[in-house]
Amino acid sequence: MADDYPLYALSEEHLAIRQAVRELCDAKVAPYAAIVDEEARFPHEAAAALLAADFHAPHVPEEYGGAGADALATCLVIEEVARACVSSSLIPAVNKLGSLPVQLAGTEELKKKYLGALARGEGGFSYCLSEPEAGSDAGGMTTKAVRQGDEWVLNGVKRWITNAGESEFYTVLAVTDPEARTRGITAFVVEKSDPGVSFGAPEKKLGIKGSPTREVYFDDVRIPADRMIGEEGKGFEIAMRTLDHTRVTIAAQAVGVAQGALDYALAYAQERRQFGKSIAEFQGLQFMLADMGMKVEAARQMTYAAAGRSERGDADLTFFGAAAKCFASDVAMEVTVNAVQVLGGYGFTRDYPVERMMRDAKITQIYEGTNQVQRIVMARQLLAGVQSQI
């Protein structure tokens, strides 16, 4: 199995994917990144470009009309888009997060309908887990689903929902047995057009301003019983399995924004002159750049190793997914802060992209489980002896 995912080199196919996405982003994503952030608007230009190139949801299997990209290829897409614009990278990332429960546990009919629609570009797919009083404690959710004949009726509020209002489809976790806590949670597909679905105002955020984050309200939303994902009461288990895989994509996003900041800092350091020479010639700055490059590459290798485990479904994926997300996001924050430092006063202004990258990087330490939660996950895996012995 190890031969399927070499630890230290990308295949020619993966290299080609990376190059294709980079060229696309340089031409059609990066030019709009600053204005998308400034206006806090959805990156429609990037969305159209990604859809045209079939990079909007590369993870969807070929049998449902998708590109059939493996976990590593999907990470490469997200990494390269994040290098140009983190807000835009949430298009493929959240499409995977929202639809993966269907792919992991949905009926064949559900997969054909919703994965097929996603692949065709008929709408994005968001993930509704968090609530106003249920963040890290997702099992404490209060959104309810009650069975009435051949329908389920949903009532409740979800908060911090990425691309809410833009996406057409939503995986929603709701309580179906209040006495069973996490074993009483079930997953459903809800459509934006379902009567009773509405959205709050966009959150005013520090970063990723081009990706709308809203509350989603469910007021007596009636959906057919066949929209249930997996078995009744298995929703929390499905949600956690999903996060094991998608935390790897957040790691890829973090690597991407860190690389983008490093690239810009390197170019600036070689052009900026002080005391009669480029600032790149000063040893103190060289040490900073060296540390930035070293940590970005370490984060990348950990992310790719986790992607291999995601593709294979290895037993130690939970540890590696949490470790990659935690480490890469911490690196992204450090590297983007240091990129601002390299640019000095210029780095503190909106005329240069590194301050946006620094603001965007922060969320990678928070969403899909804070890094404190990731450390709890890793510790439990270590104590259970699950970590790989490689």
SS (H, E, C) 7-73: CCCCCHHHHHHHHHHHHHHHHHCHHHHHHHHHHCCCCHHHHHHHHHCCCCCCCCCHHHCCCCCCHHH
Find out whether 385 and 366 touch, Cβ atoms under 8 Å.
Answer: no
Among left, alpha and beta (phi > 0; psi -120 to 50; other), residue 371 is alpha
* Residue 73: predicted pLDDT: 98
Number of H helices, E strands in the chain: 12, 10
- Half-sphere exposure for 197 (CA within 13 Å, toward CB): 20
DSSP structure string for 113-180: IIIHHHHTTS--EEEE--BTTBSS-GGG---EEEEETTEEEEEEEEEEEETTTT-SEEEEEEES-GGG
Q: What is the pLDDT along the chain (390 residues), one digit of tens a residue?
A: 344 444 568 999 999 999 999 999 999 999 999 999 999 999 999 999 999 999 999 999 999 999 999 999 999 999 999 999 999 999 999 999 999 999 999 999 999 999 999 999 999 999 999 999 988 888 899 999 999 999 999 999 999 999 999 999 999 999 999 999 899 999 999 999 999 999 999 999 999 999 999 999 999 999 999 999 999 999 999 999 999 999 999 999 999 999 999 999 999 999 999 999 999 999 999 999 999 999 999 999 999 999 999 999 999 999 999 999 999 999 999 999 999 999 999 999 999 999 999 999 999 999 999 999 999 999 999 999 987 665
Q: Is 38 a catalytic residue?
A: no
The token pair that represents 97 in the structure block: 């997060």
* Residue 3: predicted pLDDT: 44
CATH architecture of the domain covering 236-383:
Up-down Bundle (1.20)
SS3 111: helix
**Whole-number Å distance between alpha carbons of 56 and 78:** 9
Neighbours of 208 (CB within 10 A): 28
Task: Give the closest residue to 212 by CA, choosing from 188, 226, 183, 192.
Answer: 192
CATH 2.40.110.10 fits 125-234, yes or no: yes
CATH topology of domain 2-119: Butyryl-Coa Dehydrogenase, subunit A; domain 1 (1.10.540)
Neighbours of 107 (CB within 10 A): 14
* Residue 7: predicted pLDDT: 55
Find out whether 75 and 82 touch, Cβ atoms under 8 Å.
Answer: no
* Residue 388: predicted pLDDT: 63
Find out whether 159 and 151 touch, Cβ atoms under 8 Å.
Answer: no
* Residue 1: predicted pLDDT: 37
**Whole-number Å distance between alpha carbons of 323 and 283:** 32
* Residue 2: predicted pLDDT: 42
Distance from the first to the final alpha carbon of the chain? 13
Q: Name the catalytic one among 80, 215, 311, 368.
A: 368
